[in-house]
A and B are shown apart, each in its own frame.
Chain A
Amino acid sequence: MTASNHHQPHLSSDDPRIMLDGEIGQFESVPPYPPRTEREAEFYSLRDGEMFLNMGPQHPSTHGVLRVVLKINGERVVDLDPVLGYLHRGVEKLCENSDYHHIISQVDPLEYVSSLFTEWAPVMAFEKLLDVTVPRRAEYIRVLTGELLRVSSHALYQGWMALDLGGLAPILYSFIERDEIVEMLAAITGQRMLFNYFRIGGVNGDLNHEFMSRLGDWMSRALKEHETNIGLLNENEIFVRRMRGIGRVDRDMALKMAVTGPNIRAAGVPFDVRRAHPYSVYPELDFNIPVRGSNGGGDSLDRYLLRLDEVRESLKIIDQCLHNMPDGPIMARLPRLLRPRPGRAWAAVEAPRGLYGTYAISDGTDQPFRMKIHDPSFVNMQLVGQLMKNNLIADTMAVMASLDPVMGGIDK
């Protein structure tokens, strides 16, 4: 395809084990360089009958650019090594060189599907540093928009779960749901995706008529649409049989792997930051935490069903927020140039994927000294290596999709 006289630069990937077209016939022993770590030595040595299969950074699943090197024996996956970093944008370094206000827009693209939560945790940490009380109306608006985004994110999860297993229809339903919610949020934030809505001390804009009318319209249909979406897949035999029994996580493994969010709640541990360490106005709201897999742990189907349960709880919360919305200001009065006291603050929220936390160190200037972002998908991806032993290749995508990773957060 390329011209014969074309000098092809030797575009070796960062991994010398990948063979390009021009190198067919030259076989390099694996690994060509001495393995750097114990785990590399263990992984990159092949026994009889094993081979490597590279699910490269571009692949049909929609999580993003994740590369997984599978060591397979026939159709069974013996081991796998995820390679991250294809979307590493250096957000933490950029945050160190930004104003506190600017950080809110910097951290948006981390969990781009649910980006209000990525703003919420830093904003809470900065409010701790500044000792700011957020007005109650702003808190209610935060919870309301956050739960809306959680519903949207779980709806997208359903679609992606089906898409990774080969079903092309449910994602269309998911995107209908997502589009409706996101247009609602665009009415108050102005953006469909990377909202940049939360501010230190409150939120940016108050609820307006368009938002309320769209929300009311959607809420009247929401539960029924949720039931429809459930009915799409729950009784589909192929779907259930592909998910049941795959990727079983039990309580000990979940705690040891530092997993949080629906993945740990589907393993039987009732840890939800909204109840374990309540923030904002969650203590006043009445909702339950669904937990599955309390005996023996949960598999992929449990994780899927748990997220559906969570959608129902979120709808309850949205309802309560609408009914109890107080009046008042939506933002605390703060100076424009923010210089918090020197100190450290940690804040964590319950994002749709787990515990999303921010550790902020301030040194008295108007730029933070260190902003560490703890993303739940990052630790959740470690589970894939544990869960994939002796499963089929086709189950890799099922397991990975059931953990609901978002590469923006994994790679920061």
Chain B
Amino acid sequence: MDRLLRKRLETRFDGKLLGPVRQRHDETEIHVGTADLVEIMNALHDEADLKFEILADLAGVDTGDQMQVTYHLWSEMTPDWLRVIADGLPRDNPRIPSLTGLWPGAEWMERETYDMFGIIFEGNRDLRRIYMPPDYASFPLRKDFYLADDAARSPGGGVRHMEQTHVPAQASPNAVRRTVKTR
């Protein structure tokens, strides 16, 4: 919960953050748009008082409405983890610039995100499937990809709560909250 870090981020990236800098426990979270992503990442990596040199994780997220890509960074300047959420990728054509120019080690993580979600990383030299066979047709971690024997969609109905998938088959629009509610 590093207040100094929050001040630094707010002053440095004033107009580009899509929302306030949130902090909880030992994590700081910022939301950015895909257009500003590379510039912000370069700034986070290079600037002397930020120096986020270690990319800990690159995750794709499919909230029901849109897709996000989430990066976790670590710097020796601050005791917090920094989470950068690139928001607003449309579900039918999710494209985001790639970070392989800055961290070549992100290549495989982006391949994995592409394989699981279909998010296209522009600038990744090797964006092909990494886990599934190369001629696999779907993207498994999307919310509209259901596991094969999903009991919730079986004629039995999936009565027990463990058998309900996150989005029940016959959900009414109000019954299921499709976006992650944050405070």
Residue of A nearest to B115 (CB): A85
Question: Are B116 and A85 touching (Cβ within 8 A)?
Answer: no
Which among B29, B133, B135 is the interface contact of A85 at CB below 8 angstroms? B133
**Sampled A-B contacts (12; CB under 8 Å):** A39-B126, A98-B162, A255-B54, A257-B105, A276-B74, A344-B70, A344-B182, A345-B27, A359-B57, A374-B56, A378-B109, A382-B105
B104 at the interface (CB under 8 A from A): yes
Chain A residues with CB below 8 A from B60, complex form:
372
- Which of A228-236, A363-371, A388-396 interfaces with chain B? A363-371
A346 and B104 contact, Cβ closer than 8 Å, known pairs A363-B177, A364-B177: no
Chain B stretch 152-183: residues in CB contact (< 8 A) with chain A: 161-162, 165-166, 177, 180-183
Could you tell me the distance between the alpha carbons of A260 and B27 in the complex, rounded to whole angstroms? 19
Kindly provide the distance from the CB of B20 to the nearest chain A CB, expressed in whole angstroms.
15
Question: Are A361 and B105 touching (Cβ within 8 A)?
Answer: no
Question: Are B166 and A96 touching (Cβ within 8 A)?
Answer: yes
Residue of A nearest to B179 (CB): A363
B134 at the interface (CB under 8 A from A): yes
A14 and B181 contact, Cβ closer than 8 Å, known pairs A256-B105, A346-B27, A346-B72: no
B55 at the interface (CB under 8 A from A): yes
Question: Are B54 and A37 touching (Cβ within 8 A)?
Answer: no
Other contacts beyond A258-B105, A277-B26, A382-B104: 19, CB < 8 A: A14-B134, A90-B140, A96-B141, A97-B150, A255-B54, A257-B104, A258-B54, A344-B29, A348-B72, A355-B56, A359-B59, A359-B70, A359-B72, A361-B61, A363-B180, A379-B105, A379-B109, A381-B108, A382-B107
Question: Are A36 and B105 touching (Cβ within 8 A)?
Answer: no
B17 at the interface (CB under 8 A from A): no
Nearest first, the 3 A-B pairs at minimum CB distance are A258-B105, A257-B105, A39-B126
Could you tell me the distance between the alpha carbons of A334 and B127 in the complex, rounded to whole angstroms? 44
Instruction: Report, as a range, how many residues of chain B touch the other chain.
Output: 35 or more
The digit string for A323-367, where 1 denotes a CB below 8 A from any CB of B, is 000000000000000000011111010000001010101011111
A412 at the interface (CB under 8 A from B): yes
Question: Are B105 and A128 touching (Cβ within 8 A)?
Answer: no
Could you tell me the distance between the alpha carbons of A382 and B44 in the complex, rounded to whole angstroms? 23
B137 at the interface (CB under 8 A from A): no
Question: Are B162 and A412 touching (Cβ within 8 A)?
Answer: no
Chain B residues with CB below 8 A from A90, complex form:
140
Secondary structure dominating the interface of B: loop
Residue of A nearest to B82 (CB): A346
Residue of A nearest to B24 (CB): A343
Question: Are B56 and A357 touching (Cβ within 8 A)?
Answer: yes
Residue of A nearest to B99 (CB): A258
A180 at the interface (CB under 8 A from B): no
B65 at the interface (CB under 8 A from A): no
Question: Are B57 and A37 touching (Cβ within 8 A)?
Answer: no
Chain B stretch 116-144: residues in CB contact (< 8 A) with chain A: 116, 125-135, 140-141
A271 at the interface (CB under 8 A from B): yes
Kindly provide the distance from the CB of A336 to the nearest chain B CB, expressed in whole angstroms.
12
A38 at the interface (CB under 8 A from B): yes
Chain B residues with CB below 8 A from A382, complex form:
104-105, 107-108
Question: Are A38 and B126 touching (Cβ within 8 A)?
Answer: yes
Question: Are A365 and B127 touching (Cβ within 8 A)?
Answer: no
A38 and B125 contact, Cβ closer than 8 Å, known pairs A257-B105, A345-B27, A367-B166: yes
Residue of B nearest to A92 (CB): B141
